[in-house]
Amino acid sequence: MNILVTGGCGFIGSNFIELIIDKDEVSKVVNVDCLSYAASLDNVSKFSENPKYIFENYDLADYDKTYDTFYKHDITHVVHLAAESHVDNSIKGSKEFVSSNIVGTHSLLEAARKFKTRFHHVSTDEVYGEAEEGKRFTEDTSYNPRNPYSATKAASDFLVKSYTNTHGIKATISNCSNNYGPNQHDEKLIPTIIRKLLSDDLIPVYGEGTNVRDWIYVKDHCEAIWEILTKGKINETYLVGANCEKSNLQVIMSICNALNKEYTSSVKFVKDRAGHDYRYAIDPSKIQKELNWESKITFNEGLFLTLKYYSEKYNYEV
């Protein structure tokens, strides 16, 4: 396999490359990343000298450069992870989200069509909107994006589906729940909680802090992507989750306990975010049944590993 990984200097992308780089089936890994604010070359330092690894720095919206990458490296598989992903930023301004999530995906699909490349598109559970009480998202759930970020991801999903149907590209899609773990950007919830606690700052909590998310450790997600890429049925969607629903307050409490911090004196409640979805929840039955995949790392285990990573990054003892 000559695999193109987009956004490989980001959170999930760097963890995915670390997972696959030494697999016997993999001959070459080409990482295309425009090095936006959420990416870092530090994330790929572990394998940057690996002879299988190649880095190219450009924006996927540039189709000519994208085409050239497919041609030069004889790309056989694509794992498309590159995306603008922070909801708050999409509310402030969505232009970059349209460019990255829609135009960038279109460039890749056009190249994949011409080179007959196996294509896997990584998306989010947020395209489904809010989960009804007592229900979880399945592959048959109707799309209902409710903010600019999730709307652009939904658009990219539909582009992939359309290219499979119209042009016959060999594509799959996965929609995953909230990830956490090493290399995640500081703006995300769990890194923010850790950073605020370590600097004795108050953690800003939207609304009443009761919004619920389904959490999965990033390395479990990466294993799922590999299983879908190598064993998934073409033109199928797989939902990836860990059956780990927690409110924002529960997440904060867990981290406070791990760091021996007092919860009640560590939070401040702020005005809720515009269009804030209350709950996301994934039913991963399909991928468990068809591909024999399931998450292995519990939230407490994953949190320990995450805190260990940040202990080295911020130079403190867990």
Banded pLDDT at 194 (limits 50, 70, 90) = very high
Check whether residue 23 and residue 47 sit in a common domain.
yes
- Work out how many domains the chain is built from and give that number: 2
Tell me, yes or no, whether 72 lies in a domain.
yes
Check whether residue 79 and residue 118 sit in a common domain.
yes
Check whether residue 37 and residue 81 sit in a common domain.
yes
List, for residues 150-176, the tens digit of each pLDDT value. 999 999 999 999 999 999 999 999 999
Check whether residue 84 and residue 195 sit in a common domain.
no
Mean pLDDT of 121-129: 96
Active site residue 149: yes
Check whether residue 309 and residue 170 sit in a common domain.
no
pLDDT value of position 69? 98
List, for residues 49-63, the tens digit of each pLDDT value. 999 999 999 999 999
Check whether residue 98 and residue 199 sit in a common domain.
no
Helix axes 189-198, 299-314, angle to 10 degrees: 50
Check whether residue 142 and residue 199 sit in a common domain.
no
Tell me, yes or no, whether 287 lies in a domain.
no
Tell me, yes or no, whether 288 lies in a domain.
no
Tell me, yes or no, whether 293 lies in a domain.
no
Residue among 33, 59, 84, 149 flagged as catalytic = 149
Tell me, yes or no, whether 14 lies in a domain.
yes
pLDDT at 277 over 70: yes
List, for residues 48-106, the tens digit of each pLDDT value. 999 999 999 999 999 999 999 999 999 999 999 998 867 777 778 878 888 888 999 99
pLDDT at 264 over 80: yes
Tell me, yes or no, whether 292 lies in a domain.
no
Residue among 59, 126, 214, 283 flagged as catalytic = 126
Check whether residue 81 and residue 198 sit in a common domain.
no
Check whether residue 124 and residue 206 sit in a common domain.
no
Tell me which residue range forms the domain holding 265: 189-212+245-280+298-314
Residue among 18, 33, 59, 125 flagged as catalytic = 125
Banded pLDDT at 37 (limits 50, 70, 90) = confident
CATH of the domain at 37: 3.40.50.720
Active site residue 37: no
pLDDT at 317 over 70: no
Tell me, yes or no, whether 128 lies in a domain.
yes
Mean pLDDT of 218-225: 98
